[in-house]
Amino acid sequence: MGQDNLQERLEKKVFGMAEMRTRQAEVMDLVSNHYETVFLRDNKRCACSRSAILIHPDLCQVLLSRWEYEPVIEEKNGKYTLTLNEIGARGQSGNREEALGLLIEDVLDQTRSYFSEMDLHARLPETKNRYPWYLKILNCLSVEEVIQTINLEGFSQLIE
């Protein structure tokens, strides 16, 4: 059974990178408006290592739903420490609001750093497994969404 036959049987949308450049509007329409999953490859016919997958944001959320942050909240001697062991982020301060702000800042800095050095992190066993955790943060559109994503919305409501 040839690869083309399998693509047809699975109704997979596979585009080579060159084809993607010429059909970009069509590809984005498939993903955005028709919830299609699109596979991009250096060469359409080869399952080479340089590939990408485009998926609709709603589907991305579903796929990432199994990765739930479990924040650790500690209060000791009037200091609050918030920790996300999943990515090693931390915020510590004498008041709750500042501790949360420092944690968010650390999470955003780490996320930026992770994706700016993606080639390195994809090769390191201790960091490549953090990809879904950072991807969840990357998909947030506001600080409020980050707080919700890291499961600290109850903590932030106590501040108000």
Give tens-digit pLDDT for 13-45: 777 778 878 888 888 888 877 777 777 777 656
**Same-domain check for residues 30 and 78:** no
Please indicate, yes or no, whether residues 49 and 101 belong to a single structural domain of this protein. Answer: no
Residue with tokens 């028709």: 34
In a domain, 90, yes or no: yes
101 and 138 in one domain? yes
In a shared domain, residues 147 and 96: yes
| pLDDT band, very low/low/confident/very high, at 52 (cuts 50, 70, 90) | confident
Q: Examine the pLDDT at 8 and tell me if it is beyond 60.
A: no
Q: What is the DSSP letter of 131?
A: H
pLDDT of 2 over the 60 cut: no
pLDDT digits (tens, 9 = 90+) for 79-113: 999 999 999 999 999 999 999 999 999 999 999 99
Residues 43 and 87 in one domain: no
Complete DSSP assignment for 112-123: HHHHHTHHHHHH
Question: The tokens of 145 are what?
Answer: 């969404």
> Which stretch of DSSP H or E encloses residue 37?
none
State whether 51 and 84 are in the same domain.
no
Residue 64 near residue 57, CB atoms below 8 Å: no
Question: CATH no. for residue 115?
Answer: 3.30.160.620
Task: Please state whether beta strands 51-54 and 13-16 pair in parallel, antiparallel, or not at all (unpaired).
Answer: unpaired
Q: For the CA atoms of the chain, what is the radius of gyration? A: 20
Query: How distant, in Å, are the alpha carbons of 29, 95, 115, 125, 139 from that of 102?
Result: 39, 11, 20, 27, 20
Same domain, 129 and 96: yes
Task: Report if residue 110 sits inside a domain.
Answer: yes
Q: Is residue 40 part of a domain?
A: yes
Q: Which residue range forms the structural domain that includes residue 13?
A: 3-55
Higher pLDDT, 37 or 126: 126
Residue 63 maps to a domain:
no
| Higher pLDDT pick, 158 / 95 | 95
Q: How many domains does the structure of the chain reveal? A: 2
Using CB atoms within 10 A of its CB, is residue 157 exposed (0-12), middle (13-18) or buried (19+)?
exposed
**What's the rounded Cα separation, in Å, for the pair 31 and 15?**
13
- Residue 10's pLDDT is 44
Q: Is residue 67 part of a domain?
A: no
Q: What pLDDT shows up at residue 12?
A: 61
**Percent of the chain with pLDDT strictly greater than 70:** 84
Same domain flag for 48 and 76: no
pLDDT of 149 over the 60 cut:
yes
pLDDT of residue 29: 83
Asked whether residue 135 falls in the same domain as residue 93, the answer is yes
Q: Which residues contact 132 (CB under 8 A, 6 or more apart)?
A: 64, 67
101 vs 118 pLDDT, higher one: 101
